[in-house]
Amino acid sequence: MRLSTFFIAAALTGPLGQAQQTFRVATYNVENYILEPIQNRPMKKPFAQAKIVESILAARPDVIALQEMGKKTALAELQAALKAKELDLPHAEYLSAFDPAIHVAYLSRFPFRKIRRHDNESYLLNGRRLHVSRGFAEVELALGGYSFSLITAHLKSKRKVAVADEAEMRLQEAYRLRRIIDARLKTDPEMNFAVLGDFNDYYNSKPVKALVGRGKSQLIDARPGERNGDTGPNLINAKWFPRNVSWTHFYGVEDVYSRIDFILLSPGMAKELDRANSWIPVVADWGHGSDHRPVVATFVAGDK
């Protein structure tokens, strides 16, 4: 397949001075990208739609996982708007689970080699059977001889509900997703995959800890940050995260910025991560589009 067929995110030098192909993966909660009002969720206004497009263009992904997508028609409209701005992501995957209003989806430059739709995941909580509201969308893709998989999730929000404790629901959803992760690693410990999306909790929380795991099956946090000049490790305590700007979400009620959107990598795929070209785009008036920001990671398309 000709190299020009694909978008090249960056050029890296291989062992013989050969340029190595790279690709970008992004995740983005587009905050109720809904074209027809449903439940208590309003229609996405045109200026908000335009800002979503601008934010995705700033990321220039080859594959993007989307959360809070409305109907398939909304996904198709976003896809067309991006193409009109010369970002052609012709392949789409859309998962409809138990939430009637918002869904997870993908847009991709590369065709999907395999699709697994985890749209009927459930768990017992206090003797009651509950379902993973948005499900998990799993896709396999390939770039030349390099194959990788993505699993996207939008875990239970921190909004209280009558059916059960929201934190316990989010934890149980994380456990269900971790079972899928463990199954993949059991089949192939070197499998290339990323678990990405809106986990609605912090890195040190029980749900995110459950997803990260421990030991040889522990996932690696890509943790991109803003390209604002901050570099290097935390000089105060090397065990802590660097003090660069990595927040992904703004909660207006509390006026709080936090990191709840993640790209977690299998041990195999983490070897191909290009941290220098992984970042959070800084877009003026980003919040006019969504209360989240895109998260972008770049990878070398070759097993190491």
Has residue 253 been placed in a domain? yes
Number of domains in the chain: 1
CATH number at residue 40: 3.60.10.10
Has residue 9 been placed in a domain? no
The secondary structure of the chain in percent helix, strand, coil, rounded to multiples of 5, reads 25, 35, 45
* Strands 63-69 and 22-33, sheet pairing: parallel
* pLDDT for the residue 117: 98
* pLDDT for the residue 20: 79
Has residue 221 been placed in a domain? yes
Return all residues near 266 (Cβ < 8 A) that are at least 6 apart: 181, 184, 185, 191, 192, 193, 194, 219, 220
Q: What residue numbers bound the domain in which 95 lies?
A: 21-226+243-300
Has residue 6 been placed in a domain? no
Q: How far is CA 155 from CA 122, 129, 189, 192, 249, in A?
A: 13, 17, 25, 22, 14
* pLDDT for the residue 17: 45
* pLDDT for the residue 19: 62
| The one-letter amino acid at 37 | P
Question: pTM for this one?
Answer: 0.93
Residue 249 has which token pair? 């979400």
* pLDDT for the residue 18: 53
Residue 112 has which token pair? 């999907």
Has residue 137 been placed in a domain? yes
Mean pLDDT of successive 10-residue stretches along the chain, which has 304 residues:
38 52 98 93 96 98 98 98 98 97 98 98 97 98 96 97 96 98 97 98 98 97 95 86 95 96 98 97 98 98 95
Quick count: other Cβ atoms within 10 Å of Cβ 29?
27
Has residue 94 been placed in a domain? yes
**What order do you get walking across the sheet with 114-118 strand by strand?**
114-118, 136-143, 146-154, 193-198, 261-265, 220-221
Has residue 62 been placed in a domain? yes
Quick count: other Cβ atoms within 10 Å of Cβ 83?
13
3-state secondary structure labels for all residues of 1-61: CCHHHCCCCCCEECCCCCEECEEEEEEEEEEEECCCCECCECCCCHHHHHHHHHHHHHHCC
